[in-house]
Amino acid sequence: MPITAIHPRRLYQQVADQLRALIEGGEFAVGDRLPSERDLAEKLGISRPTVREALIALEVEGRIRIRVGSGIFVAPPRPIRALGSDAIEGPFELLRARAFIEGALVQEAASLATPADIDTLDALLLRMERGIHVSQETIGADRAFHCAIVGILGNAVLVRFVGELFDQRINPYFERLSSYFENNDTWGEALEEHRAVRNAIAAKDGEAAKAAMNHHLQQSQRRFSLNFGEGRSAEAPAA
């Protein structure tokens, strides 16, 4: 038998494994409501974002259905979508990594920004403002804004790295999570956070730029952490 590399399982994947085993073992039948995020987090002794990542993974697989305002229910059996999940970072893990990395990079970029760099950021902000979110246009402008900031440093490797980090939001887990919480209102909030980053860079205030970037990515985590609004009804709504 060939020897293969061993990859450690991320915490959210371990939670998903446990819930999946309970469903397959008949602990929860089709249509049954699962415990709420809060209850699962308390019973497992982990954070709610980790539970949410696990639930999103199971929903993408087709194991459960999340009904905002009603709860989380076991879905009817169907062919499972194979995702190669060992290679997929959880959305919250990704956003935390971006805060560490982009916070440091924007602090340095603020000291080097030229008027032409600010003009580039302004043009991207205008594209973001005029677009209708969620769309490829607005997400593309968002990506270009973050990459343009790193581009101020004149290092193509860093630009590619930040772009690849951003592109992780295209993975199926991130897309499913954003489908619940991203809309024109949340996009308006994010746009103002981008403007705060731009203004700090224009003022050449590295500390303020770092704080603004961290605030933006922390707020992104907060928006994705809003309660699904589980109700108290014991019956699942119609599919």
Q: Which two tokens stand for residue 154?
A: 């004149």
Q: According to the model, what pLDDT value does residue 237 have?
A: 33
Domain harbouring 77, CATH code: 1.10.10.10
Q: According to the model, what pLDDT value does residue 132 have?
A: 80
Q: Are residues 17 and 132 in the same domain?
A: no
Q: Are residues 173 and 196 in the same domain?
A: yes
Q: Is residue 6 part of a domain?
A: no
Q: According to the model, what pLDDT value does residue 172 have?
A: 77
Mapped onto helix, strand or coil, the DSSP state of residue 58 is helix
Q: Are residues 73 and 100 in the same domain?
A: no
Domain that holds residue 45: 11-86
Q: Are residues 31 and 60 in the same domain?
A: yes
Domain harbouring 123, CATH code: 1.20.120.530
Name the domain boundary from 64, 86, 108: 86
Q: Are residues 208 and 166 in the same domain?
A: yes
Chunked in runs of 10, what are the mean pLDDT values of the chain (239 residues)? 55 89 90 91 88 89 86 80 56 87 97 97 95 82 96 96 87 77 86 98 98 95 70 35
Q: According to the model, what pLDDT value does residue 192 have?
A: 97
Q: Are residues 112 and 188 in the same domain?
A: yes
Name the domain boundary from 68, 86, 104: 86
Q: Is residue 233 part of a domain?
A: no
- Residues contacting 175, CB < 8 A, separation 6+: 169
Q: Is residue 48 part of a domain?
A: yes
- State the Rg of the chain over Cα: 20
Q: Are residues 216 and 108 in the same domain?
A: yes
Q: According to the model, what pLDDT value does residue 110 have?
A: 98
Beta carbons of 139 and 124 less than 8 angstroms apart: no
4: region left, alpha or beta (phi > 0 left; psi from -120 to 50 alpha): beta
Q: How many domains does the chain have?
A: 2
| Pairing mode, strands 71-74 and 64-67 | antiparallel
